[in-house]
A = this chain, B = another copy of it.
Amino acid sequence: MNHPALAALLSCLGPDRARTDDFCRALYSQDDTPARSLPEIVLFPHSHDEVVQLVQIAAKYRLPLTPRGAGSGNVGGALPLAGGAVVSFECMNQVLEYAPKERLIRVQSGCITAEIDQIAASDRLCYPPDPGSSPYCRIGGNLAMNAGGPHAVKYGVTRDYVLGLKAVTGTGDTLQTGVRTSKGVVGYDLTRLLVGSEGTLALITEATLRLVPRPESRALLRAAFRSSEDACAAVLRVMGQLQTPSAVEFMDSQSLAAVRAMGAAKDLPDGSQALLMVEVDGSTESIPVQLAALETAIQGEGLLQLLSGQDRTSQEALWAARKSLSPATKAMAPLKINEDVVVPVPQLPTLLAAIDEIRQELDLQIVSFGHAGNGNLHVNILVDPSRAGELERARRGLDHLFRTVLASGGTLSGEHGIGSVKRDYVALELDPVALDLQRRIKELFDPLGILNPGKVFPHE
């Protein structure tokens, strides 16, 4: 404990909440990527004021700070690449204000996302953004990455539910943004500048979130198709009619093979090469109307089977194939490279054709599924690094994938973000003027470069 910054942090939070032991440092050296990077110290502040103190100490000693929610991110955003301190928000999990009549909740950034929604449920309200990790991820991480989820197709993403933020800039200044009303146009939109900035502009300590009425009922359709092309055509018909579904999830033939190998999806008809899950929600009276419209839209070339589930048990049975995908893909190879590219919905067939080409030309295992209503697919390249050249072929596959996505009018990431993993692809998508302005905005908020270094921006 010779480093004066570490000593100052320890004296600020005490030994229980400023940890330098090997076990704790190892625990906070990783996220949901295979990479590892050891911090020098792990900090567990309780309050905004403590975060201010931490940042002021870090600024004084130029110590890198890496903010962390639950560490469930897929792009290395929470890895302390430059060492320094990990600032874990796990202990900042207080609900500061819940005002159902104003349809808002104000929380510390360490609150668990699903728990926020559960509080709202007590007044038949809802916090819609629901990334797959919502039972354990923290709202601060969702804000940093602008998290999405399957219901984004109807309800939008994290950005759309943030009224205001409290944060600490890289100079240790407290920044208040936004409003607590549903409208407000005073000044530049710093709220949405911070959302999605991946902890590089400021550490978010509090958020005022907008709540909406909770849907009374939901129902589910599961449609099996003879080919991915037929399923994509159905997605386009679904998104081309007036009843916006609450989820449109897609699984390709490789996904179906993976879950079949685990013994799931036994009830699919022979020849099923793609699956769609289409969910609707709303008032109980609206469900039959919505279902009828969606069943009509799904009908078409290549449909092999269409099942509906209106009660909870039958819906869970229909979701089973989709839910078994994550363990199924993890069992396929030691390394899963999980991309979340987006293309315009009419371009989904182009994207899937390119993935087939990559699979065949580069002899790679690729499993693709995801939020087809947003054109947002999770493309998982399953790699065994011990096999000669496989990592290099995966890298070439990613290059091909990203170029196809951008040529189709798409974007490199719909919800995972850039982090450290995708930073060298950012310049393919953003124009130099935009990138330069972003670098200079970063310098304004964090002139010392201590906030989450090594993220978002390409290597220079």
Binding site for B on A (CB under 8 A): 99-103, 124, 145-146, 148, 152-153, 156-157, 159-160, 169, 173-177, 179-190, 192-193, 195-197, 201, 212-214, 216, 236, 239-244, 283, 285-286, 289, 342-346, 371, 374-376, 409-418, 426, 429-431, 433-435, 437-438, 440-441, 444-445, 456
Contacts and interface: CB of A to CB of B under 8 A. Distances in A.
Contacts of A239: 101, 103
B445 A437 contact: yes
B434 A177 contact: yes
A445 B433 CA distance: 10
A248 to B, nearest CB: 11
A374 B181 contact: yes
Nearest to A343: B181
A429 B183 CA distance: 14
A189 B196 contact: yes
Contact of A438 (B187, B240, B433, B440): B187
A119 B180 CA distance: 34
Q: Which 9 residue pairs across A and B have the least CB separation, nearest first?
A: A183-B414, A184-B411, A192-B192, A213-B242, A181-B342, A179-B411, A173-B433, A146-B185, A189-B192
Instruction: Count this chain's copies in the assembly.
Output: 2
A243 B440 CA distance: 44
Contacts of A100: 240
Contacts of A175: 431, 433-434, 437
A375 B182 contact: yes
Contacts of A216: 242
Nearest to A192: B192
B289 A185 contact: no
Given A242-B216, A243-B213, A244-B212, A184 B283 contact: no
Nearest to A157: B183
A180 B344 CA distance: 7
A185 B414 contact: yes
6 contacts: A101-B240, A159-B189, A179-B410, A184-B414, A186-B418, A242-B283
A128 to B, nearest CB: 13
Contact of A187 (B176, B375, B418): B418
A204 to B, nearest CB: 14
